[in-house]
Chains A and B, each alone.
Chain A
Amino acid sequence: MRPEHLIIAPIVIPIVAAALLLFFDDKERLLKATVSIVSAIALFAVSVMLVRIADGIGPQDGRVAVYLLGNWPPPFAINLVLDRLSAMMLLLTSALAIPALIFSLGRWQKAGPHFHTLFLLLLMGMNGAFLTGDLFNLFVFFEVMLAASYGLVLHGSGPVRVRAGMHYIAINLIASLLFLIGVALIYGVTGTLNMADLAVRIPQVPDESRMMLEAGAAVLGVAFLVKAGMWPLSFWLPTTYAAAAAPVAAIFAILSKVGVYVILRLTLMFFGGETGASAGFGAQILFYGGIATMIFGALGVLASQALGRLAGYSVLVSSGTLLASIGIEQQGVTAGALLYLASSTLTIGAFFLLIELIERGQNPAANVLAVTMEAYGEGEEDEEEEKVEGVAIPGTLAILGVSFAACGILLAGLPPLSGFIAKFAILTAMLNPDGFGQGGDIPSASWWLVALLILSGLSALIAMTRAGIRSFWAPVDEAVPRVLLTEILPIGALLFLTVAITVQAGPLMRYMQDTAAGLHAPQPYIDGVLGAERATRPEDGEQP
């Protein structure tokens, strides 16, 4: 097998495993869990190899590996494209999927039928969306991903989930229709759907058709911004994510990044620096939309009483930061944003898993009670304090508390963990647009983002401290949550990954900078796709 064939493995592995699981009765949980976890681990291994391939094919430029399905010459038919960005997203997906699946062993896989099948189909849809080089195929993979996510949102059932799921489905169906309208408009103007071919043709579009093209791109953008959760298209997000089961919410942390990924790729490829009359189209909207999302998210984080909603709004803050950073359209800022993407996705995934464990110790009324306690001045708190005095913190609570503190530090972007490194990378790039220590003019827009990055970190810190005190130091009832080892280990693994990002920040930042260079100068990508060699029929006697 030639190494190029690995490119299709991230799509084939989960769909084969998902199909395999359908043969077994839902009672054979151990078998099903084994198959899905093994395939997730295989995905991880493949992603690591793909990252190496993507990083190895060109030392500095953004060259790509292309897989031609059906062996048609590009730009015809469908092709899969591997570059540094898609390889990184694949790795991130599988790194989040394994802990979420292991976490689900404890309780959630029993909560409804076909959990593992849906989960694997979701992975297949996301991996396909990361790899595809074709706009319509992107739609197909998006729909596979969304259809699986509809099922997963409803996993565990209950009126709250069904209601949130219904809103989620309706909004995403409308977004899918917008997606189709946008794709159709772009096809009508340019006559192609291949991304690389589009990047060549967009600068040549005659002026009278340019309006149509930009309208199509804008409609398409709305569809992705709904997924990414840009304000004001994001009101569904915190409710849905808070209602979803913990492992589902954890993997949804990267689902919203799929929208960000597509925006990042398409904006820079279609409307980047050297694309003629349309250059810079949409960047302003992304920037101000991202700023608005950050403000909305930070206020939401401060206002949240329940931990689930707090995490939901943290997703918005993270999306807003990424969108605003993309909107600035500077190579260094993009590199920092990519590191932030990796760090914040892992953090929020771990946080969603952790919330489930913390809330298990509280009875459902505790949150309502906590709110009322605040409203009425917390009258009985003094008595509680005396009773707790001198009691050693149980081991479980200590571990949960440390994990919670780590999540807080990561979300707020305090040293020493990777949240700080990522935000620092964005800030450094913005404040030194001409390279470190070179001075240079800082655009006034950058100051907005600098201020908001710091303020949103502060709001996360305040909210997390408040929630932590309420959950660990002043519990309304003192039941210690029963936590399985398979539930705490995945959280530990995710937090360990953020530590690994911190330790390996140098090589990772180098990778991100190469990725950003490839995104901002997409010519090698375009040449790579359009000049891809068709596979030839193997000579007789030679192994394919």
Chain B
Amino acid sequence: MELILALGIGVLVGSGVWLIARPRTYQVVIGLALLSYAVNLFIFSMGRLSNKSAPVVEPGITPDPALFVDPIPQALVLTAIVIGFATTALFLVVLLVSRGMTGTDHVDGREPER
């Protein structure tokens, strides 16, 4: 599981960074989205990977910390997803405004001279 998660994060980060370095705004937005997925997965992994365990303590049983997952990273990811969505949506709006004003989707607002 560790390998799959690490590869997944790695592929997402690689694609995200490559897309952010592109000159078209839409690619930058998609790159940011991929990067934020990678970061969310990374936050999950920081709570230690475990399988089939509950994040809460069952009533009546003396809790053994080895048996349940850390709930804090899940709370963090939830917040990060909400904030990430909001800011990405905002960026998308700015992209559209810029496209409307300058007539190009280049990040500098004008086409490079060829």
A181: chain B residues at CB < 8 Å are 39, 42
B107: chain A residues at CB < 8 Å are 166-167, 170
Complex-state Cα separation, A184 to B47, whole angstroms: 9
B102: chain A residues at CB < 8 Å are 159, 162-163
Stretch among A171-179, A444-452, A503-511 lining the B interface: A171-179
CB closest residue in chain B, given A168: B94
B83: chain A residues at CB < 8 Å are 139-140, 143, 176
Q: For window 65-96 of chain B, which residues contact chain A by CB distance below 8 Å?
A: 72-73, 76, 79-80, 83, 86-88, 90-91, 94-95
Residues B25 and A184 in contact, CB atoms below 8 Å apart:
no
Residues A169 and B91 in contact, CB atoms below 8 Å apart:
yes
Complex-state Cα separation, A229 to B93, whole angstroms: 26
A157: chain B residues at CB < 8 Å are 97
A174: chain B residues at CB < 8 Å are 20, 32, 35
| Known A184-B73, A187-B72: A166·B87 in contact at CB below 8 Å | no
| Known A174-B32, A187-B72, A187-B73: A150·B109 in contact at CB below 8 Å | no
Complex-state Cα separation, A169 to B43, whole angstroms: 23
B interface secondary structure, majority: helix
Residues A143 and B109 in contact, CB atoms below 8 Å apart:
no
* A-B CB pair tally, cutoff 8 Å: 90
Give the number of chain A interface residues (Cβ < 8 Å).
Answer: 31
The reply to whether the CB of B61 lies closer than 8 angstroms to some CB of chain A is no
Complex-state Cα separation, A176 to B98, whole angstroms: 22
Residues A143 and B87 in contact, CB atoms below 8 Å apart:
yes
A183: chain B residues at CB < 8 Å are 76
- The listed residue (A143, A165, A176, A177) touching B94 by CB distance below 8 A is A165
Closest Cβ of chain A: how far from B8's Cβ, in Å?
15
| Known A162-B109, A163-B109, A166-B107: A187·B46 in contact at CB below 8 Å | yes
Residues A170 and B90 in contact, CB atoms below 8 Å apart:
no
Residues B87 and A176 in contact, CB atoms below 8 Å apart:
yes
Per-residue CB contact flags for chain A residues 281-296 toward chain B (1 = under 8 Å, else 0) read 0000000000000000
Complex-state Cα separation, A162 to B99, whole angstroms: 10
| Known A140-B83, A163-B98, A184-B73: A170·B109 in contact at CB below 8 Å | no
A136-B76, A181-B39 known, 8 other contacts, Cβ within 8 Å: A139-B83, A140-B83, A143-B87, A147-B87, A162-B97, A166-B109, A174-B35, A176-B87
Sample (22) of A-B pairs whose CB atoms are under 8 Å apart: A136-B79, A140-B83, A143-B83, A143-B87, A150-B90, A159-B109, A162-B97, A162-B98, A163-B102, A166-B98, A169-B91, A169-B94, A174-B35, A177-B32, A177-B39, A180-B80, A184-B42, A184-B46, A185-B46, A187-B46, A188-B45, A188-B47
Interface, chain B (partner A; CB < 8 A): 20, 25, 28, 32, 35-36, 39, 42-43, 45-47, 72-73, 76, 79-80, 83, 86-88, 90-91, 94-95, 97-98, 101-102, 107-109
Interface, chain A (partner B; CB < 8 A): 136, 139-140, 143, 146-147, 150-151, 154, 157-159, 162-163, 165-167, 169-170, 173-174, 176-177, 180-181, 183-185, 187-188, 193
Q: Which 5 A-B pairs have the closest CB atoms?
A: A188-B46, A184-B46, A163-B109, A184-B43, A143-B83
